[in-house]
Structure 1
Amino acid sequence: MSLAGALLAAVDVGAACADGVRDSQWPLVNYKAESTIWPVSQGEGIVVAVIDSGVLKDHQDLTGQVLSGADLSGENTDGTVDDNGHGTGMASLIAGHGHGGGSGIMGLAPKAKILPIRISWGENDATADLGLPRAIRFAVDHGAKVVNMSIGGYPSGAPGIREAVAYAVDKDVVLVAGTGNSGDRQGAVEHPAAFPGVVAVGAVDRNGLHWAKSSSGPETTLVAPGADIPRASAKSTAGHGIANGTSDSTAYVSATAALIRAKYPNLSAGQVINRMIRSATPPASGEAVPNDRYGHGLLSPARALEPNAAVDGGPRENPLLGRAESQGAPTAPSVGGAWEEPAPGPGAVAGGNRGVTYTVLGAAGVVVVGGGVVGAVLVVRRRRRVTAAAAGGYQGCPPPQQQWPPGRG
């Protein structure tokens, strides 16, 4: 299992941008979030579970947004600490509120709440795969209406995950996961994204074109911004970085699901997914959709929030349940262990060993930590696959674009 978009290209966005971090968030600029999205919905009242490395609750762009969750990694936390930074980054893209004077990271759904569920990334931890099904069930049972899984690399027959996905679908929860960052392996959308019922999200760049490392396959549902993405870092309570990956695009789709659920609370999860699919915009490449690279097209939050009686009055069932898995389902249903309820807060699960292994990816990336610069980018590696893209050479503040996708309304 891997982080589907770990800190692959985190670069200094500090002094050179003054506090231009907000202006550098090109997805918000391109989506015209301030003028077309937030007047309609900001995700109020919606809980989004982030199953990941934890979420730093004290980050200045997330204060007050992070609920007490669970730690299934075996450490004594409530999910609100993050020694990797990946989960904090995802939470900031979903529900970040920035900080004084229009500075810092804003999420696409800035009034949603984050339920952090920390799972093990242990390379040699035999119980690591069991954390995901427990995390999904915990999220559902603790009020999450959307579950963000910016993770990948699980086998299709991993114990209990298929059943946990079915449980969440039956409980009317929107599940979102990244297709993966192994773009050279065509037709290989990773699990859990490939499970029927899960919104499988690929990544595009600022020009609306397929990001080269984004995994492709027939399960791809949508694509969203996933290249040169500013997000919060857990290196400090004021840390920021820039990253690439389908993790980031997954977070934008989860945030959009939260926006829709806040605006239209009577819609089923299936109708929310249908809204995102039917409102998607064809890619700038001109390719016909749906296809393996772009799915049904580019996520369009503003269009997804527009009144649509045809979708809202349609079937309430999840439209992705009948989707075939290109890599094949297991010959027999996987059997999960007995569901054991982890209590929220410290001590949710005792024992265990995270066994995290870190790999340094090049020297192009630097992260600002307390005013200093660390010249190494760390990502988690698991035994199955390293889904790491090379660090990019991007420096400074990205120039904004005025419409999304480029050349289209």
Structure 2
Amino acid sequence: MGFKQVLSTTGVVALTGAVLLTSAPIAAADQVRDAQWPLTAYDAAKVWKTSQGAGVTVAVVDSGVDASLPDLTGQVLPGKDFTGQGSPHQDDNGHGTGMASLIAGHGHGADGSAGVKGLAPKAKILPVRVSSGKSDKYIDDWGAGVRYAVDQGASVINLSFNDSSAYPGSKAAEAIAYAQEKGAVVVSGTGNDAGTVNYPAALPGVVAVSAVDQDLNFWSKSNTGNVTVAAPGVRTPQADPTSSSGYVVADGTSGSTAYISAIVALLRSKYPDLTAGQIINRLVKSASFVNYKDKKAPDKELGYGIARPGTALTMDIPKGPKEGPLAQASPSTSTNSGTASGDNESTSAAKEKSDSSSGSTLLIVGIAAAVIVIGIVFAVIRSRRNGSGNGGPGPGGGTPSHGAGYPPQPPTSYQQYPNTPPNPGGYPTPPGQPPQHHNPYAQ
């Protein structure tokens, strides 16, 4: 189990090694919104004047998405359950619902001012359930869910998990290549065990996401290597139907993956004529190293930098080649039909990839010199439900029984949950920046 925290008017309570958000008599959901530091960091209110993700479908290939939660009503499409053990709207784990809330939650209450709001609140979520129960294990053939999502019109595929068996040439890799050939942007977390980038993030063309914290510092548990971009992934409030209050706070690249999927949805909504590669081009060329003046792109920790949605939407960036800046998968790897054959279809797990290859597949070849501008920001990821040994080949990780699982969650020391952002801008003023620019995402 990962790290979660509880927020109430009387303090914080630790339960069975985890800290959960508890409901409070007065505006607990308002406190959840106040604690959503990525929205403050990104100056989301300003971003939403340009794009809110309307018309874009994001597939959340995960443990299901609870469509009944108040923050997600009307956002979740029918979807499909590939486990054969329930409904795509059933989430006994809470992980998939959490990712969906970070992407397309709309909050609730007066003007949606309470609860979790996603960065792309008008995008639609396609739930693809490939994990059932409270465990972190996925079905062997979760790639069938990826193919299904693409055939249903999803143009963004969110994979907030690691799978050591998704090596090049595997069924999962072929499914991802199929998605890319059909024009979808595939986003995946690098992993949470401080090793090298895990599969499927290490596959060609996949946007590999590491995490940053509220100070825009690289999260030390993020896996490194061929990283594309970074995003907020530490202490991120999100919806969770398994919590008594409906909310949890978590660390990990799962959350940062969801935030990048949301940024891609914003871009796809504003620039519907751009190819997936050209969308990724905007993503990497608008990223920034913020305080890291000594870093050069691509960096093993932050890739091309911390993603900046406002800048990505408005910066003058040439379209560039249709293929975009990332290495492409071989066309021969995705010749199978894109139609999934059934909910309970699964095959035996493919062979495990070696440690030495876990971070070498994804090659970032584009020219994307990150511009250090005052409007910068955010990133980090999370994966809050990890059993030990569910993380792939990096240090501290192993091979799950079904070949896939949420990246291992490092132990986290207890901290008081903040009711408000650290300062009015969400982040401290970057060194050398004028003090009036407290929000590095403000433009």
Fold shared by both chains (TM-score > 0.5): yes
Structure 1, 9-18 or 259-268: larger mean CA deviation: 9-18
Contact 2:178 2:338 in 1 (8 A): no
The root-mean-square deviation of aligned C-alpha atoms, in Å, is 2.9
Q: Are residues 1:71 and 2:70 paired?
A: no
Question: Hey, what does 2:101 align to over in structure 1?
Answer: 92
Contact 1:227 1:243 in 2 (8 A): yes
Distance 1:178 1:8 in 2: 16
In structure 2, give the amino acid aligned to 1:80: H
Q: Give how far 1:13 is off.
A: 2.2
Contact 1:231 1:240 in 2 (8 A): yes
Q: Are residues 1:388 and 2:409 paired?
A: yes
Q: Give how far 1:393 is off.
A: 1.3
Question: Hey, what does 2:296 align to over in structure 1?
Answer: 289
Q: Give how far 1:15 is off.
A: 3.6
Question: Hey, what does 1:190 align to over in structure 2?
Answer: 198
Distance 1:91 1:246 in 2: 14
In structure 1, give the amino acid aligned to 2:191: G
In structure 2, give the amino acid aligned to 1:160: K
Structure 1, 156-165 or 99-108: larger mean CA deviation: 156-165
Q: Give how far 1:281 is off.
A: 1.1
Q: Note closer, same or farther for the CA distance 1:263–1:334 as it changes in structure 2 (3 Å cut).
A: closer
SS at 2:70 equivalent: coil
Distance 1:236 1:256 in 2: 27
Question: Hey, what does 1:129 align to over in structure 2?
Answer: 140
Equivalent positions of 1:98-177 (< 5 A) are: 98-101=107-110, 102-120=113-131, 128-131=139-142, 133-155=143-165, 156-157=167-168, 159-177=170-188
Distance 1:253 1:126 in 2: 24
SS at 1:98 equivalent: strand
Question: Hey, what does 1:48 align to over in structure 2?
Answer: 58
Distance 1:191 1:252 in 2: 19
Q: Give how far 1:56 is off.
A: 0.7
The equivalent position to 1:315 in structure 2, one of 308, 311, 321, is: 321
Equivalent positions of 1:21-32 (< 5 A) are: 21-32=32-43
Q: Are residues 1:199 and 2:207 paired?
A: yes
The equivalent position to 2:275 in structure 1, one of 250, 268, 280, is: 268
Q: Note closer, same or farther for the CA distance 1:350–1:98 as it changes in structure 2 (3 Å cut).
A: same
Q: Are residues 1:235 and 2:238 paired?
A: no
Question: Hey, what does 1:80 align to over in structure 2?
Answer: 89
SS at 2:33 equivalent: coil
Contact 2:147 2:339 in 1 (8 A): no
Contact 1:209 1:283 in 2 (8 A): no
SS at 1:234 equivalent: coil
Unaligned runs of 5+ in 2: 11-26, 349-383, 391-397, 401-406, 434-439
In structure 2, give the amino acid aligned to 1:94: I
The equivalent position to 1:224 in structure 2, one of 225, 228, 231, is: 231
C-alpha distance after superposition, 1:107-146 (max 9, x if no partner): 0000100001011379999982312x11110110001010
Question: Hey, what does 1:258 align to over in structure 2?
Answer: 265
Contact 2:92 2:132 in 1 (8 A): no
Distance 2:245 2:59 in 1: 23
Distance 1:45 1:130 in 2: 29
Distance 2:172 2:429 in 1: 38
Contact 1:229 1:242 in 2 (8 A): yes
Contact 1:22 1:103 in 2 (8 A): yes
Q: Give how far 1:32 is off.
A: 0.7
Distance 1:199 1:127 in 2: 21
Contact 1:289 1:297 in 2 (8 A): no
Q: Give how far 1:26 is off.
A: 0.3
Question: Hey, what does 1:397 align to over in structure 2?
Answer: 418
Structure 1, 235-244 or 297-306: larger mean CA deviation: 235-244
Q: Give how far 1:285 is off.
A: 3.3
TM-score, reference length from structure 1: 0.80
Q: Give how far 1:75 is off.
A: 1.2
Task: Report which structure shows greater RCO (CA 8 Å, sep ≥6).
Answer: 1
Distance 2:34 2:235 in 1: 13
Distance 2:135 2:47 in 1: 44
Q: Give how far 1:335 is off.
A: 9.3
SS at 2:141 equivalent: helix
Contact 1:177 1:198 in 2 (8 A): yes
SS at 1:223 equivalent: strand
Distance 2:253 2:346 in 1: 32
In structure 1, give the amino acid aligned to 2:6: D
Question: Hey, what does 1:366 align to over in structure 2?
Answer: none
Q: Are residues 1:349 and 2:357 paired?
A: no
**Percent identical across equivalent pairs?**
42
In structure 2, give the amino acid aligned to 1:8: G
